[in-house]
Chain A
Amino acid sequence: NAGVTQTPKFRVLKTGQSMTLLCAQDMNHEYMYWYRQDPGMGLRLIHYSVGEGTTAKGEVPDGYNVSRLKKQNFLLGLESAAPSQTSVYFCASSYSSGTGGKDTQYFGPGTRLTVL
């Protein structure tokens, strides 16, 4: 079991360039999430998915798009990168949404993105 994997691990972009971050999980989880982590701030949710073919906006969705064509994959796209998107991006997955508080989110190793 690889758990949650992310590619690439590092990337440097120029302002205006586009890229896609790939997240894959092999735990058959329904729920997947994209977070960003910035210095001095807690993790913030960008987008999430409650199942194959469905996505929804999180707290900070502007400038990002996502797709969940397959249950095991969740893609995060930046159409026109900006320096404000310099961050560490984490993907996570969980078996359920945990409205009862019993779910666990499993995180990937992160992608460190720098936008110049």
Chain B
Amino acid sequence: KNQVEQSPQSLIILEGKNCTLQCNYTVSPFSNLRWYKQDTGRGPVSLTIMTFSENTKSNGRYTATLDADTKQSSLHITASQLSDSASYICVVGPWGAGSYQLTFGKGTKLSVIP
């Protein structure tokens, strides 16, 4: 069964600090990996989408990396802000399948404190 595991479950950091969130997946064959940000009480918002041939993708202070060989991805947040407090969800799509066959991770809850 396809699985997406995220770590840590939760994280607290000081404003201005950097952090890295991890995602391991067992989806095979693999096609693409997405990171979403979900604010409390809101729907997820796409941060990055990477295909199997891409190693890194940036969106402002967010940088996602992908190692398709080890089936690992990370999301690095630089110079964190209070508005970065949210859940970050890793989502993986299998090869040859549509976006109705995505596997969602449980998310990492990030709290940025002053």
Contact = CB atoms under 8 A, between A and B. Distances in A.
A102 B49 CA distance: 7
A104 B106 CA distance: 19
A107 interface: yes
Interface string A27-60: 0000101000000111111001010000010100
Contacts of B42: 109-110
A102 B51 contact: yes
B96 A42 contact: no
Nearest to A48: B100
B99 A98 contact: yes
Nearest to A106: B46
Contact of B97 (A43, A58, A99): A99
A107 B97 contact: no
B4 A104 contact: no
Given A4-B43, A110-B41, A105 B104 contact: no
A40 B9 CA distance: 10
Given A42-B4, A98-B93, A99-B96, A108 B43 contact: yes
B106 A105 contact: no
Contacts of A94: 99
B99 A44 contact: no
A90 interface: yes
A97 interface: yes
Contacts of B44: 43, 90, 107
Contacts of A100: 31-32, 51
